[in-house]
Amino acid sequence: MTTTSRFVLTAALALPNTLAAQSAIELDEALVTSGLIPVAVGETGATVEILDDDEIADGAATLDDTLERLPGVAVTRTGTPGSNADLRIRGLPQRYTGVTIDGIDVIDPSAPQAALNFGTMTRALADRIEVAKGTQTAVYGSDAIAGTVNITSWQPAKDGLSWGG
């Protein structure tokens, strides 16, 4: 074995020990949060329409009929009531609208259009609806370019069952 070969072999054997002796690098702490950040209505920088249970119950049979009465919101139906109904905020297709029910994102990202069918939802589902028009991507994620619809579902006043009065 030549001197050069011995030197290369010794260096190769000593290198892992040298690398192991180096101190560990400490990284800064990373904070991971969900896409739904609680923000006060006055701090959003967007137009927000809030419908309470009285306004929801006023004459509309389905949720898409209720939402269609708001300025800047349009609904396109593909058939009879109960069929597919697409919601558009400020003219953008529904795939650019974020939708949450009780704070849970209900848009299926694996769906071809990534949209929710509002045609099958009755107004009895909702106790309160908040429609934020304009980009909401910083608060609700990348689906909310046109805006977002946040539906708070109806909750019974008391737990349990009652019969008769």
Q: Mean pLDDT over residues 56-66, rounded?
A: 78
pLDDT of the residue at 50: 84
Q: Are 126 and 152 in contact (CB under 8 A)?
A: yes
pLDDT of the residue at 16: 62
Q: Mean pLDDT over residues 73-98, rounded?
A: 83
Reply yes or no on domain 53-153 having CATH 3.40.190.10.
Answer: no
pLDDT higher than threshold 70 for residue 1 = no
Q: Are 63 and 122 in contact (CB under 8 A)?
A: yes
Q: Sign of the CA dihedral 94, 97, 100, 104?
A: positive
pLDDT of the residue at 14: 63
Q: Are 154 and 53 in contact (CB under 8 A)?
A: yes
| Residue-range domain boundaries for the chain | 53-153
Residue whose token pair is 């608060």: 139
Tens digit of pLDDT for each residue in 14-29?
A: 666 555 555 667 755 5
pLDDT of the residue at 145: 82
Residue whose token pair is 């849970």: 104
Exposed/middle/buried for 120, CB within 10 Å: 0-12, 13-18, 19+? middle
141 dihedral zone (left: phi>0; alpha: psi -120 to 50; beta)? left
